[in-house]
Amino acid sequence: MLSVAFLGLGAIGRPMARRIAGAGFPLTVWNRTSARASAFGHDVGVKTAPTAAEAVKNADVVVTCLSTSADVEQVMEGALSGMRDGSTLLDCTSGDPATSRRIAERAAAKKIGFVDAPVSGGVRGAEEGTLTVMCGGDARDLARVRPVIEAFGKKIVHCGPVGAGDAVKAMNQALLALTIWGTGEALVALAKSGVSPQVALEVINASSGRSNASMNLFPERVLNRAFPRTFRLALLDKDARIAAQIARDERVPAPLTQLAADLCTLSRKELGEEADHVEAVKVIEQWAGAEIK
């Protein structure tokens, strides 16, 4: 059985690590804020390490799930040299392709494989082990870590070389931002014109304007004003900005992708670092002076 180190017990890292432990892999966890790691270790019954370097030293697979690729680069700067020859770094952060390629090069120089493997499906998908996992890297590296990915992922897709998983994830996130914002605008305008959001969603969800936002996020989070905090708006902002950068790098005119990034940045400034991504609709509501409910 592959031994696993998991670095980063945030909102989605915790349920992913729990699935890995549940699948029987010997697991050691580390988190920057050590209280989170101790609570997790106690709860799930796995080993905790005081430093990232300590966590990775006997692992066949090191999973990172941090906020940004820059965080992964920073943490692995100290920890990479302690990883075993022939082991693999499986980075589940929604990262940026250029930084992932740089980390992969450093890893390769130490005979360590690298796979970028961002996930989609949210905290619930992680708890249920039904995440979509988009992977970039060498096919042999992916084959080696696939059993670990299968502990939390259902649809596992090899997208291309290192960075390809990050790129697909970033574009997916720009689309998510656009559908949240667009559905918010539509429902606020309809509410002001006298159509209830429930009725509007009943129609849209049986019509061509439907999306994950209209089918799941708005009914489960907006209409009931619950706005649970599962995925920070700050992280969606980071993702949409990566998407806009990829479009610029590839010289693809992408005004909507850029707009998605700008709207995320604007809402993030308005609502703060801890706001959930769906709370962005509150900005539209404030502008319009009307609520979706």
| The one segment of 68-76, 149-157, 246-254, 285-293 that binds ligand NDP by CB under 6 A | 68-76
209/228 with CB nearer ligand NDP: 228
CB of 117 to ligand NDP, least distance (A): 11
> Does residue number 75 form part of the binding site for ligand NDP (CB under 6 A)?
yes
**Residue of 28, 31, 99, 100 interacting with ligand NDP (CB under 6 A):** 31
179/188 with CB nearer ligand NDP: 179
94/258 with CB nearer ligand NDP: 94
> Does residue number 218 form part of the binding site for ligand NDP (CB under 6 A)?
no
> Does residue number 132 form part of the binding site for ligand NDP (CB under 6 A)?
no
10-41: buried (b, 16+ CB within 10 Å) or exposed (e) per residue?
A: bbbbbbbbbbbbebebbbbbbbeeeebbeebb
Determine the residue with CB nearest ligand NDP: 10
**Residue of 3, 22, 44, 71 interacting with ligand NDP (CB under 6 A):** 71
Q: Which of residues 91-130 bind ligand NDP (CB under 6 A)?
A: 93-94, 119-120, 122-123
| The one segment of 69-77, 82-90, 139-147, 179-187 that binds ligand NDP by CB under 6 A | 69-77
- Catalytic positions, written as ranges: 169
> Does residue number 79 form part of the binding site for ligand NDP (CB under 6 A)?
no
> Does residue number 174 form part of the binding site for ligand NDP (CB under 6 A)?
no
Give the binding site for ligand NDP (CB under 6 A). Answer: 8-13, 31-33, 36, 65-67, 71, 74-75, 93-94, 119-120, 122-123, 230-232, 235
